[in-house]
Structure 1
Amino acid sequence: MSAGLFGLLDDIAALAKLAAASIDDVGAAAGRAGVKAAGVVVDDTAVTPQYVQGVAAQREVPIIKRIAKGSLRNKLLFILPAALLLSQFADFLLTPLLMIGGTYLCFEGAEKIWARLSGHGKGESVDTAKKQLDSEAEETVVSGAIRTDFILSAEIMVISLNEVSDEPFVSRAAILIVVAFAITALVYGVVALIVKMDDVGLHLAQRSSAAVQKIGRGLVRGMPVLLSVISVVGVAAMLWVGGHILLVGLDDLGWHALYDAVHDLQHEVEHAVDAMSSVLGWLTNTVASAILGVVVGAVAVAVMHVLPTKKAH
């Protein structure tokens, strides 16, 4: 009897170890997939704070919570089932879909640069800062934010899925669920911290300590700078990630010339410079991907904005 009990305990321990290993594998794979989607995550983080600019302080976090719930609903109820079915029955469509998403990222990044250079983007923050929302306007803002999030969330999930496409179906589902929760919590947690930074700064600026007051004023002055930095990093990340998706996608579809040229250039840089060769090699690949992203994005912006405007004139 005791031998049977010990055998059962050994089996339970083995199953527990197997389950723990599986959880570790899912966590590690989710981490790799999330890193691949980093560019879109940064863009999502950069875009969202604009929806609560000018809103009463007590409504900022509730609005962000509503957008976060909508984002999670997008990922789990709509994007995840579609992505899993696609990977199971039509995985040959993953590369073209990724390339469409990559082109969209390039377009978004180039469009932001075009708006800044042409002056079309100026004055937006001033207008947004003046709005005060009633319940109906707040509903409109939240709905618009969730619609915009759907596009970014779809890109995040497809990029993540492509990274774990070789995993079994159940593992893929578990990994994507982890990615959905983790990235949503990360993006909207960071957004909540950003939008409350000026309130924290104002509170600290009213304290009696001169040092604390100085920190508070620094937080208030630093928020516009932080938003500008996030915006610039978001644009760069979109162009880099979008360009890299297109570069790899072209290679997967059989058009190897461009990918091979960048790969050869990366190797030449690594061999030419012994110190920090891997970092410089990665940087070479990143810059080449970003250049491709700028070129593709510029063409897309021309098709969507510049050429129609010239025709109208």
Structure 2
Amino acid sequence: MAGASLLTLLDDIASILDDIAVMSKVAAKKTAGVLGDDLALNAQQVTGVSADRELPVVWAVALGSFRNKLILVPAAMLISAFIPWAVTPLLMFGGLFLCYEGFEKLHHSYQHLKDKQQHQHTTETPLAQHTDLATYEAEKVKGAIRTDFVLSAEIIAITLGVVADMPLSTQFFTLAVISMVMTIGVYGLVAAIVKMDDAGLYLSQRQGQTLMMQLNRKLGFALLNAAPLLMKSLSIIGTAAMFMVGGGILTHGIHRIGEQIHLVQQAVDSLAMIGPLLGLVVPSILNGLVGVLAGAIAVVAMAGITRLRG
């Protein structure tokens, strides 16, 4: 009798693990797009830090991301159990915040360029003038963790939608698995990206005349040349991803706008030759434009509130 009960228990556990594996695989596919945006955003967030502090900054942001997941997973379970209608409004607020952050970055970049043109004789950098390295680093980490919170919330919400019809235990463990895999994957890749130039320097200095050593040096020089371009590209892609992800969340929540974008996509898809390719790109562009507009409105509104509060 006891043996039969043990076998039944083991069979139940195996069934649950199988469900978790299947649901995790489906959720991973659905969140792959967000993962790409998450990678670009977080790699961009840690740019500008001194070389010897890059990995500590990535580690600090990764720990902050794990803390975000520890908040979001239980919160998602509570929302799913008691107030499932609140998922969309909360996501839309997060999307608007991403748009706000993105437009604020554009505004600061414009102001910095304007100030630089007005004070070309100044040799000091804004960082040296206004803040110390520790404060600058802390602000970078804080901003990256804020951005991660919104993107993590979207990943959790997408995963929750996949497992909505499953038992609560399967929902919880699937959310936990996706959270761990996404965090380790994103910040592992971010660490590799920010240390790419160090790897290139190491390979370029390898000694020896063998074919392998020559290939190592060529690869090292290629990495050294590609690293600055990649980091600049990630900075642009990261800001664009803020608008695309944030705008996508908003258009998904505002059905009328989402339907119009879907109609435009269908019209573009019907074009000969390049229709299918444009159909993949156009929704992201339109979501990005909505994100820019929403971000501009949010920045102006926040500026007005700040002035009213004195």
| Aligned pairs for 1:28-67 within 5 A | 28-38=25-35, 39-50=37-48, 53-56=49-52, 60-67=54-61
Deviation at 1:216, TM superposition (A): 2.4
Deviation at 1:246, TM superposition (A): 0.7
* Residue type at the aligned position of 1:234: G
Give distance in 2, aligned partners of 1:281 and 1:126. 43
Deviation at 1:92, TM superposition (A): 1.5
Q: Could you list the per-position Cα deviations for residues 181-200 of structure 1 after superposition, in whole angstroms to 9, with x for gaps in the alignment?
A: 12211222122112222222
Instruction: Indicate the residue corresponding to 1:260 in structure 2.
Output: 259
Instruction: Indicate the residue corresponding to 1:230 in structure 2.
Output: 234
Instruction: Indicate the residue corresponding to 2:19 in structure 1.
Output: 22
| Aligned pairs for 1:268-307 within 5 A | 268-273=267-272, 275=273, 277-304=275-302
Deviation at 1:233, TM superposition (A): 1.3
Report the CA distance shift for 1:142/1:81 in structure 2 as closer, same or farther (over 3 A).
farther
| Aligned pairs for 1:238-257 within 5 A | 238-251=242-255, 256=256
Deviation at 1:99, TM superposition (A): 0.9
Alpha carbon RMSD of aligned pairs, Å?
3.7
Equivalent position to 2:148, from 133, 153, 160: 153
Give distance in 2, aligned partners of 1:79 and 1:23. 19
Q: Could you list the per-position Cα deviations for residues 57-81 of structure 1 after superposition, in whole angstroms to 9, with x for gaps in the alignment?
A: xx543443343223212312x2222
Give distance in 1, aligned partners of 2:115 and 2:30. 36
SS in 1 for 2:50: coil
Aligned residue pairs, count: 290
| Aligned pairs for 1:155-174 within 5 A | 155-163=150-158, 164-165=160-161, 166-168=164-166, 169-174=168-173
Report the CA distance shift for 1:153/1:173 in structure 2 as closer, same or farther (over 3 A).
farther
Equivalent position to 1:90, from 83, 100, 112: 83
* Residue type at the aligned position of 2:225: R
Deviation at 1:249, TM superposition (A): 0.4
| Aligned pairs for 1:67-86 within 5 A | 67-76=61-70, 78-86=71-79
Report the CA distance shift for 1:84/1:278 in structure 2 as closer, same or farther (over 3 A).
farther
Q: Could you list the per-position Cα deviations for residues 11-56 of structure 1 after superposition, in whole angstroms to 9, with x for gaps in the alignment?
A: 6896576345313323223303532533344212321344xx2253
Report the CA distance shift for 1:122/1:229 in structure 2 as closer, same or farther (over 3 A).
farther
Instruction: Indicate the residue corresponding to 1:175 in structure 2.
Output: 174
SS in 1 for 2:26: helix
Deviation at 1:121, TM superposition (A): 9.1
Q: Could you list the per-position Cα deviations for residues 178-227 of structure 1 after superposition, in whole angstroms to 9, with x for gaps in the alignment?
A: 22212211222122112222222222222235554343233223222111
**TM-score where L is the length of structure 2:** 0.77
Report the CA distance shift for 1:84/1:33 in structure 2 as closer, same or farther (over 3 A).
farther
Deviation at 1:286, TM superposition (A): 1.8
Report the CA distance shift for 1:308/1:94 in structure 2 as closer, same or farther (over 3 A).
closer
Report the CA distance shift for 1:67/1:129 in structure 2 as closer, same or farther (over 3 A).
farther
Give distance in 2, aligned partners of 1:10 and 1:172. 24
Report the CA distance shift for 1:54/1:122 in structure 2 as closer, same or farther (over 3 A).
farther
Q: Could you list the per-position Cα deviations for residues 245-281 of structure 1 after superposition, in whole angstroms to 9, with x for gaps in the alignment?
A: 1111011xxxx2x2222222211222233x4644432
5+ residue gaps, structure 1: none
* Residue type at the aligned position of 1:70: G
Give distance in 2, aligned partners of 1:9 and 1:86. 34
Report the CA distance shift for 1:231/1:121 in structure 2 as closer, same or farther (over 3 A).
farther
* Residue type at the aligned position of 1:269: V
Give distance in 2, aligned partners of 1:182 and 1:189. 10
Q: Could you list the per-position Cα deviations for residues 89-131 of structure 1 after superposition, in whole angstroms to 9, with x for gaps in the alignment?
A: 12211111111111111122222233333435988x9666999
Give distance in 2, aligned partners of 1:122 and 1:185. 39
Instruction: Indicate the residue corresponding to 2:96 in structure 1.
Output: 103
SS in 2 for 1:189: helix
Q: Is the 8 A contact 1:36 1:159 kept in 2?
A: no
Deviation at 1:9, TM superposition (A): 11
Give distance in 1, aligned partners of 2:8 and 2:274. 48
